[in-house]
Chain A
Amino acid sequence: MEEKKIHMITAVLLIFNILILSVGFLLVKRQEFSENENRYLAVFPECKWEEIKSGQFMDDVNSYLCDHFPLRDAFIGMKSRAEIILGKREINDVYIGKDDYLIEVYQKPVNTERISRIFSSFAEKEKTKYLDLNLMLVPTAIYVYQDKLPQFASVRNQMDTAREIYQACGIPAIDCSQALLENKGNGQLYYRTDHHWTTYGAYVGYETFCKVKGLEPVPLEELEAEKVTEHFCGTIYSKVNDYTYKGDPITIYKNPSDELTVYYPNTDVTTDTLYNLEYLNQKDKYSLFLDNLHSLVEITNNTAVSDKELMLIKDSYANSMVPFLAHHYKKVYVFDTRYYKLGPSNFIDEHPGITDVLILYNMNTLDMDLGIGGIY
């Protein structure tokens, strides 16, 4: 009889579980934005016949339910933790690497030809303007930290794809992959929980840049370093959401000899710093570099070592390299093709002072980057 009672309790508890979660769903206050995933959560769809007929309404309701489910983050973390315990080493396209490194998988690139074509068309168009044009394709952690990948994981070589693009588009390359590999032992080059390179990784990239351009890089010791946080849980952390991972530190560098004016035209704000440390209070801490998203940033250095002006067409990897570059140029235009609709060629025409153009992308997001199309 005892046994039967326990079986009954099992069933009652299961029902209780279901009801507590469904009632909880109805009672809990709706959140609009998920900090962890850095996106707006689904809103309840409008009930229109067209949407119902196509099934869109039903899909949207399902997304809404999943997005606002009680204890959502905890459930997702639990799933990841359980999978890792059971031996899984790849979760949501992230390798669970050694030394607490989370490393993004490099998917098979599909747009290599299209991207090469865009770059070469752009180069062709700017040929007559006597600009110093360079292309810098930066490998991500999966290339540099291969030894930290879980055992038996397979990898595609990012730099093979990069070489293909370099050759096809004909823009002079700045290849920092070798330098990154060589400096692996000297410091942390990539965040363990984010898909970006660290400021040290960016510095190594900057050194290569200087070498190719014939500039004299400022030694790291001459810069003021400041560790602004120890708890940066980045995008890859969110993908896995395993709460047992600790955050990364972020170190920022300032050159005391630089006298900077940083202007954001879209918000009409002028400051004297490349960092917005208010972002340290949010989850999205990488945004502290150049204040997150802006269609254009104009950086003026009154004490620059040259009168040259650099235009930077780039993704977010460049944001942590700009602080080093600013030393060498009177003006740096940081240009976002996604938000600046008129395109870089127009911009160059309007700003005859520009002498150098650098295109900088990381290899992992290059293939699916929506902004590339805006270059040409």
Chain B
Amino acid sequence: MVFSSILFLFFFLPLCLVLYHSTSLLPCLQHGKSRFKSNQGEVLAVREGTNAIPLKNGILLVFSLIFYAWGEPVYILLMLFASAVDYINGLLMDRFGITKGRRRIFLITSVAINLSVLAFFKYANFAVGIINGIFHLAIPFPDIALPIGISFFTFQTMSYIIDLYRKEVPVERNYFTYLTYVSMFPQLVAGPIVRFSAVNEELHQRKLTMDEFRSGLIRFMQGLFKKVLIANQMGALWEEIQVLEPGRASVLCCWLGAAAFTMQLYFDFSAYSDMAIGMGWMMGFHFPENFRYPLWATSITDFWRKWHISLSTWFRDYVYIPLGGNRKGVLRHLFNMFIVWFLTGLWHGAAWNFVLWGLYYGVLLTLEKYVWGKKLESLPLFIRHLYTIFIVVTGFVIFVFDDMGALGIYLNAMLGRVGNCFWGNECIWYLKNYGVVFVAALLLVFPFYPWIKEKIAGMKERARVWFAIGALFGYQVLFILTTAYLVNDTYNPFLYFRF
């Protein structure tokens, strides 16, 4: 199920939230005492009306499983298996892991199983292709469909077992609580990658306030609008430009296409994170922020601090730093960079272009660190922005073509080397058709929203009220428009007399 669908928005989510919050009204849970204990065994603070948490977790779990099964009615078993492996290894590590060596056994077992599952389901086809290529064999492709969200939930469960090994989180004894963490539908299929340590406490005890529910709803809506009204439109623009025969698209048009794809990816991805974070708030969870205006970064180093933060910090904490980071000499650092960025690329998909894309950033980050990072900082700000955006947009062109031949043609077309002119009518046509959305997207790429929020906060009460009223109408209009787009999804008039 996707968030931006009629089913989710009008049926699944409201039903889930109504049931979830109505548990607080159950009389038997109103005044009882929390018999719920923390992992260390001590009783957590007794609060009235809060002991509905296990029931709430249960509701969340059931809905999450339905959510996943809706998209993967068969592979849901895989998710249950993967989470059971970590859960059991966690228990065993807690029970038998007296020495570090013993703990390591369970760690390695768990990580090995997780990585094998990931390797098998995500990379088997890719690996067979490579092996066939090198050894001139003809091993048939296993043809395995990629289970939705597998890259996300395996990384989440690994964070648990690694942190447990490092004694940074307590063991989770209740399988259903653990499964609730892994399968939680707001962040299950597209991030952010929520580490166990981030939600461990909230899984057992969390506060629900009206105010936070409201903020969560608004955050969710912002994500929804971004996804439907901007990301999808930018996607449509990119689709149209992409299919133009090489030579028919002018240089400017190719750049417009690349920019559209960059925005599609950014808005799609960050919208999903917004919706996840918003739904988290509505249910009392706090997931980490995943994007901080990455397209407005001043260097590539800065970009990766702001783009898909939960992934880059995952690789930093569980791969880069354990390998020694940059503290073991330059050569070792270069090697570590290679490994981390090779893996980062590969994580995004089982194809060479993703690896290439990862390494592209590995090289650029290394260059920024050792060659031009300092010089860059002394340049005017707008040059640094331009430099970053140029590299990022070019990078996403590598990202989007999994066919190396097509990638080469497109890159050449961007340079005007396929006999295409600099600009043409088609470029104006697309600008005319998508101009308004494009400009709106540009505004949201810059940190315009927090800036204006801050400005409004500093105004007089009266002005603030007017802005609030404006926002009130704005949200309703955008909501109705979004609904219209969602309904239009299946709108395809059957043309009579089409024979």
Indicate whether B135 reaches chain A with its CB closer than 8 angstroms: no
Contact A235 B499 (CB under 8 A): no
Q: Given A38-B496, A154-B426, A338-B499, are A13 and B490 neighbors across the interface (CB < 8 Å)? A: no
Q: Given A18-B14, A39-B493, A87-B436, are A79 and B481 neighbors across the interface (CB < 8 Å)? A: yes
Q: How far is the CA of A241 from the CA of B493 in the complex (A)?
A: 10
Closest to B430 in A: A152
Indicate whether A199 reaches chain B with its CB closer than 8 angstroms: no
B487: shortest Cβ distance to chain A, in Å? Answer: 4
A: contact size bracket: 35 or more
Among B432, B436, B472, contact of A89 (Cβ-Cβ < 8 Å): B432
Among B469, B487, B496, contact of A72 (Cβ-Cβ < 8 Å): B487
Closest to A361 in B: B499
Contact B218 A55 (CB under 8 A): no
Question: Per-position contact with B for A40-83: 1 when CB-CB < 8 Å, else 0?
Answer: 00100000000011010010011101110100100110110010
Q: Given A6-B472, A10-B471, A86-B436, are A75 and B73 neighbors across the interface (CB < 8 Å)? A: no
What chain A residues lie within 8 Å of B472 (beta carbons)?
Answer: 6-7, 9-10, 13
Contact A14 B6 (CB under 8 A): no
What chain B residues lie within 8 Å of A86 (beta carbons)?
Answer: 436-437
In B1-28, which residues have CB < 8 Å from any A CB? 1, 5-7, 9-11, 14
Closest to A20 in B: B10
B331: shortest Cβ distance to chain A, in Å? Answer: 49
Question: Per-position contact with A for B238-267: 1 when CB-CB < 8 Å, else 0?
Answer: 000000000000000000000000000000
Contact B488 A39 (CB under 8 A): no
Contact A369 B499 (CB under 8 A): yes
Q: Given A36-B493, A37-B493, A62-B6, are A75 and B435 neighbors across the interface (CB < 8 Å)? A: no
A8: shortest Cβ distance to chain B, in Å? Answer: 6
Contact A7 B499 (CB under 8 A): no
What chain B residues lie within 8 Å of A87 (beta carbons)?
Answer: 432-433, 435-436
Contact B493 A11 (CB under 8 A): no
Indicate whether B429 reaches chain A with its CB closer than 8 angstroms: yes
Contact B10 A21 (CB under 8 A): yes
B436: shortest Cβ distance to chain A, in Å? Answer: 4
Q: How far is the CA of A42 from the CA of B14 in the complex (A)?
A: 24
In A185-237, which residues have CB < 8 Å from any B CB? 195-196, 235
Contact B480 A55 (CB under 8 A): no
What chain A residues lie within 8 Å of B436 (beta carbons)?
Answer: 86-87
Among B217, B432, B487, B497, contact of A315 (Cβ-Cβ < 8 Å): B497
In A273-326, which residues have CB < 8 Å from any B CB? 284, 286-287, 292-293, 315-316, 319
Contact B490 A67 (CB under 8 A): yes
Contact B11 A76 (CB under 8 A): no
Contact B74 A11 (CB under 8 A): no
Q: How far is the CA of A337 from the CA of B498 in the complex (A)?
A: 12
Q: How far is the CA of A77 from the CA of B435 in the complex (A)?
A: 21
Closest to A287 in B: B496
A53: shortest Cβ distance to chain B, in Å? Answer: 6
Stretch at the interface among B95-103, B152-160, B337-345, B460-468: B460-468
Contact B14 A370 (CB under 8 A): no
Indicate whether A371 reaches chain B with its CB closer than 8 angstroms: yes
Q: How far is the CA of A195 from the CA of B499 in the complex (A)?
A: 13
In A75-102, which residues have CB < 8 Å from any B CB? 75-76, 78-79, 82, 86-90, 92
Indicate whether B483 reaches chain A with its CB closer than 8 angstroms: yes
Contact B7 A62 (CB under 8 A): yes
Q: Given A3-B461, A6-B472, A76-B487, are A61 and B7 neighbors across the interface (CB < 8 Å)? A: yes
Contact B494 A38 (CB under 8 A): yes
Report the count of interface residues on B (CB-CB < 8 A): 56
Contact A78 B484 (CB under 8 A): yes
Indicate whether B175 reaches chain A with its CB closer than 8 angstroms: no
Q: How far is the CA of A303 from the CA of B250 in the complex (A)?
A: 61
What chain A residues lie within 8 Å of B9 (beta carbons)?
Answer: 18
Contact B465 A75 (CB under 8 A): no
Among A11, A66, A69, contact of B214 (Cβ-Cβ < 8 Å): A11
Among A11, A152, A284, contact of B432 (Cβ-Cβ < 8 Å): A152
Q: Given A3-B461, A52-B73, A369-B499, are A63 and B490 neighbors across the interface (CB < 8 Å)? A: yes
Closest to A104 in B: B495
Contact A286 B426 (CB under 8 A): no
Indicate whether B447 reaches chain A with its CB closer than 8 angstroms: no
What chain B residues lie within 8 Å of A65 (beta carbons)?
Answer: 6-7, 10-11
Indicate whether A17 reaches chain B with its CB closer than 8 angstroms: yes
Contact B499 A75 (CB under 8 A): no
What chain A residues lie within 8 Å of B479 (beta carbons)?
Answer: 14, 17
A86: shortest Cβ distance to chain B, in Å? Answer: 4
Contact B498 A79 (CB under 8 A): no
Indicate whether A175 reaches chain B with its CB closer than 8 angstroms: no
Closest to B473 in A: A10
Indicate whether B70 reaches chain A with its CB closer than 8 angstroms: yes
Q: Given A7-B214, A371-B499, are A62 and B5 neighbors across the interface (CB < 8 Å)? A: yes
Among A6, A19, A338, contact of B14 (Cβ-Cβ < 8 Å): A19
B470: shortest Cβ distance to chain A, in Å? Answer: 10
What chain A residues lie within 8 Å of B221 (beta carbons)?
Answer: 14
What chain B residues lie within 8 Å of A235 (beta carbons)?
Answer: 493, 495-497
Indicate whether A355 reaches chain B with its CB closer than 8 angstroms: no
Indicate whether B489 reaches chain A with its CB closer than 8 angstroms: yes
Indicate whether B485 reaches chain A with its CB closer than 8 angstroms: yes
Among A11, A19, A88, A287, contact of B218 (Cβ-Cβ < 8 Å): A11
B278: shortest Cβ distance to chain A, in Å? Answer: 11
In A317-349, which residues have CB < 8 Å from any B CB? 319, 336-338
Known: A14-B476, A63-B490. 6 other contacts (CB 8 A): A7-B472, A11-B217, A17-B476, A238-B493, A239-B493, A370-B499
8 of the cross-chain contacts (CB-CB < 8 Å) are A2-B461, A18-B10, A21-B10, A58-B1, A66-B486, A75-B484, A154-B426, A235-B495
The list of the 8 closest CB pairs from A to B, nearest first, reads: A316-B497, A39-B494, A6-B468, A152-B429, A66-B490, A37-B493, A79-B484, A75-B484
Residues on A close to B: CB < 8 A? 2-3, 6-11, 13-15, 17-19, 21-22, 25, 36-39, 42, 52-53, 55, 58, 61-63, 65-67, 69, 72, 75-76, 78-79, 82, 86-90, 92, 151-154, 195-196, 235, 238-239, 241, 284, 286-287, 292-293, 315-316, 319, 336-338, 365, 368-371
